[in-house]
Chains A and B, each alone.
Chain A
């Protein structure tokens, strides 16, 4: 298996505080990679670096094996890396299609397009296709996103990133605010996104959920990757042990 996105020896400090200390991290195409760790382990800092939101101090990021630099989230998006933020970043007054194409509107062809006229029909069609092909329950393209359920909102946000990311999607706690049934639906969607061949990085606190959906699990502790497991071989005890440092992490990491 080839890593599509890889971080090697990434360091990041805020003042005297070393948040990341030579972190290695890799994700494979077509897999759900869970990134877990206790509060303050450096998860969000690492994700921000990998999605272009902040710069790293030292280390290398490789995309398809080539070193890259990302100066902004926009630059990351141009490389095919999308992020689904925890607060979703949706416009509640606008519909699912409008949200999906926010900032990437399709214009009509010819003179009208030069005047900036939108091709609403095409955007609606493509967004609708994406929602149905991903098996979401987003049915009403006329309702504003604010009127949708939490799970549907999450589906819109995920489908939006799927439409634009062909490499990696970071998802920050996508089920944190959802009930049991909707959590199940969103996890199914996460799985399908990975099955399309995109690498999904799932940041989560929920261990059973991680075990259920992740192909690969990487554990951060105190700014270092202390363990990585295949989803099939890990147990909650192993993950918690690695997160807290109770387990002999050297063995766990070498078990691969």
Chain B
């Protein structure tokens, strides 16, 4: 056993490429690497896009819009109605952006509706008896965003560090944040919101409210972030296989906390939008928000099992229930029917996602 002693005295290793292969392997080296076939050219972009669920859901949305427009051209496809729908959707869409990140990373968050209310209440309380000017509104907005982010960080730490499952953590936060909001206001809404804020609702650049444009900007900025940056890529990796992400040297705990913080931040922003739109804190008016947001995200093709999802899909998915509700109202159908349809489509969408996974994993 002298080999070990000899080699430990050696200092240099020959350059890798020149190390001769020691005879003794009975194995042929197989293909000549240079003769290996080149990769086939990439399929064109449109062929790849057609195969995605945002494409299908986009078609569904388009079909709905066309159908309602033909059935009720004088009340559905009007400027006023488009304003209506987009304004309804703006607040949900802002939250859906954060939810897309969380669900792509394999997480879940049902607490955003309470975070929205809590942040709005704290901001409204701060602004209540102060000078009615932009300074107050700006500080109020910062407070609102900070409250949302703080709840989000709390969620993230519980989930990433304490390993409490996301559903349970955010179920706890759902109750706690709403309770805290009611504690602050004694259960009644704050209705004295600064008049300065409403300036923003009076102008409609390109025909749509500023609140809608805020939602559009948030969607574009974070959509690009998810699709094209390292942060987005790490989000997909964590959702697809968190253990592999960890082994690849990604700081998964920190990333997960930042995702819930982002989600809380955007819930805070949605709280400010809600405050501006309704000029009151609407404490009891948001209980369905989180569920509507999750419905939209899942309809848009984001997989609840993590690793798959796009921001464009989410925008389409959030619009579908809103357009359907609006269309039912315009057609004088019972609006409750919409809930049945959406419920069915949601379960079907996740079922198809399941099937696709199973087929793939069998391959």
Contact = CB atoms under 8 A, between A and B. Distances in A.
Contacts of B43: 142
A1 B22 contact: yes
A170 interface: no
A103 interface: yes
Given A24-B4, A118-B230, A147 B360 contact: yes
A77 to B, nearest CB: 7
B39 A132 contact: yes
B15 A197 contact: yes
B1 interface: yes
A180 interface: no
Nearest to B38: A132
A65 B363 contact: no
B307 to A, nearest CB: 3
B240 A91 contact: yes
B19 A89 contact: no
A187 B230 contact: no
A203 B166 CA distance: 38
B250 A149 contact: no
B340 interface: no
B247 A89 contact: yes
Contact of B236 (A91, A120, A231): A91
Interface string A176-212: 0000000001011001101111100000000000011
Contact of A107 (B12, B20, B230): B230
Interface string B131-159: 00000000000000000000000000000
A216 B22 CA distance: 9
Contacts of B8: 3, 6, 8, 62, 65
B82 interface: no
Interface residues of A, number: 80
Given A191-B30, A192-B33, A197 B19 contact: yes
A41 to B, nearest CB: 17
Chain B interface category by residue count: 35 or more
B27 interface: yes
B24 A93 contact: no
Contacts of B225: 116
Given A74-B249, A215-B24, A141 B39 contact: yes
Contacts of B34: 133
B104 to A, nearest CB: 9
A54 interface: no
A6 B21 CA distance: 19
Contact of B21 (A24, A118, A194): A194
In this complex, the member of A85, A89, A98, A216 whose beta carbon has the largest number of chain B beta carbons within 10 angstroms is A89
Nearest to B239: A93
A26 B307 contact: no
Given A85-B247, A144-B360, A213-B27, A4 B13 contact: yes
B308 A93 contact: yes
Nearest to A211: B26
Contacts of B24: 214-215, 230-233
Contact of B40 (A3, A64, A139): A139
B33 A133 contact: yes
B13 A64 contact: yes
Interface string B1-17: 11110011111111111
B29 A195 contact: yes
B25 A213 contact: yes
A188 B31 contact: yes
A89 B240 CA distance: 10
Interface in B294-346: 303, 306-308
B17 A32 contact: no
A188 B26 CA distance: 11
A7 to B, nearest CB: 9
A168 to B, nearest CB: 11
A34 B303 CA distance: 41
Interface string B28-55: 1111111011111011000010000000
B23 to A, nearest CB: 7
Given A89-B244, A147-B360, A6 B12 contact: no
Contacts of B40: 139-140
A59 to B, nearest CB: 12
A2 B12 CA distance: 8
Given A6-B7, A29-B13, 8 more contacts: A64-B12, A74-B249, A89-B244, A92-B361, A128-B39, A135-B30, A147-B363, A212-B27
6 closest A-B pairs by beta carbon, nearest first, are A197-B16, A93-B307, A103-B248, A30-B19, A232-B24, A91-B240
14 contacts: A29-B13, A29-B19, A65-B8, A89-B244, A94-B237, A117-B229, A118-B228, A132-B33, A139-B39, A141-B42, A187-B27, A197-B16, A215-B25, A230-B22
